[in-house]
Structure 1
Amino acid sequence: MQMSVTDALVHIMVMTAVSDKDVTEREMDRFAALIGRWPIFEEFDIARLSEVASACVETINRAGLDALLNQIAETLEPRLQETAYAIAVEIATVDLTLNQEELRMLEMIRDAFSIDRLTTAAIETSARIRHRKL
């Protein structure tokens, strides 16, 4: 069954959050903030977040991460793959540190979507600037 674009983007959020095995309260808050503010999620019913997140984890456990990334890549057109990468970076950087697992997840997403290094660097720099503190 083909997943919707918004479900694919939520899957990216969940995959990134669970990459280090510990979904923090800040990551959960960022899920809600992104869904509530980003225009791409206008049609997404936030009441479905738990259902979609559970489906993501179930798919990872059943089919594996690579299979899920391939399905998401097939669902998203190239410009939305860049959006998905930006979402992943937002989730990964919310706690102001990137561990090895999160870096590896971003690399896997970048490779699955074939996003060029200049674009990913711009997305990563933008996130770093947004999350800066004094």
Structure 2
Amino acid sequence: MATLNLHTALISTMVIVSAADREMTDRELFTIGEIVRTLPVFADYEEDHLPDDAAACVDMLNGDQKLDEIIRKIRAVLPKKIYDTAYALACDVAVSDGQLSQEELRMLEMLRHGLDVDRLTAAAIERGSAVRYARL
């Protein structure tokens, strides 16, 4: 995935958080699929491309690019008005399996800084994700 577009950049934010702890759980993968199927930002995305686009992101992670370079690529493609959206999608994936690893927390922090999501906005997004994915 040398070149990102809006959709692959958003997918990449979700994949890098899911892969941060070296384990992409079934629940995280399901959540990524649900997000792509249901959110308006993906309305004109060809859902059939998701497996290949996610795999390309994993390849990028396994390649020689550093995380900060990948985040810069993501930022360069996304319109500023959806930086918060990208961060929210990443947060939803991170909490979807009911466990938040230190690696995922660190990746979210890197995304927050890389996408210039301010602390108050980030806290609200994180709380919203935690509430939506709460388990009894």
- 1:3-47 C-alpha deviation (Å, 9 max, x unpaired): 211110011111011001001110111011101110001111111
Deviation, 1:117, is: 0.4
Identity of aligned residues (%): 35
Shift of 1:62: 2.7
SS in 1 for 2:106: helix
Tell me the amino acid that sits aligned with residue 42 of structure 1. Answer: A
Corresponding residue number in structure 2 for 1:130: 132
Gaps of 5+ in 2: none
- How big is the alpha-carbon RMSD for the aligned residues of Structure 1 and Structure 2? 1.2
Q: Which residue of 1 aligns with 2:118?
A: 116
* Alpha-carbon distance between aligned partners in 1 of 2:9 and 2:110, rounded to the nearest angstrom: 15
In structure 1, how many angstroms separate the alpha carbons of the residues matched to 2:89 and 2:105? 14
The residue number in structure 2 matching 1:31 is: 32
- Quick one: which amino acid aligns to residue 18 of structure 1? A
Deviation at 1:88, TM superposition (A): 0.4
What is the match of residue 21 of structure 1? 22
Partner residue in 1 for 2:43 = 42
1:106 to 108, 125, 128: 108
Tell me, in whole angstroms, the C-alpha distance in 1 between the residues paired with 2:135 and 2:27.
15
The residue identity in structure 2 corresponding to 1:79 is K
Residue aligning to 1:93 = 95
Deviations 1:52-101 (A, max 9, x none): 11211222223221111000011112221110000000000001221100
Q: Where does the alignment leave 5 or more consecutive residues of structure 1 unmatched?
A: none
Distance in 1, Cα, partners of 2:58 & 2:33? 18
* Cα distance between partner residues in 1 of 2:103 and 2:48: 29
User: Aligned partners of 1:57, 1:32: CA distance in 2, in Å?
Assistant: 16
Question: How far is 1:2 from its partner?
Answer: 4.3
Asked if structure 2 preserves the Cα contact closer than 8 Å seen for 1:2 and 1:75, the reply is no
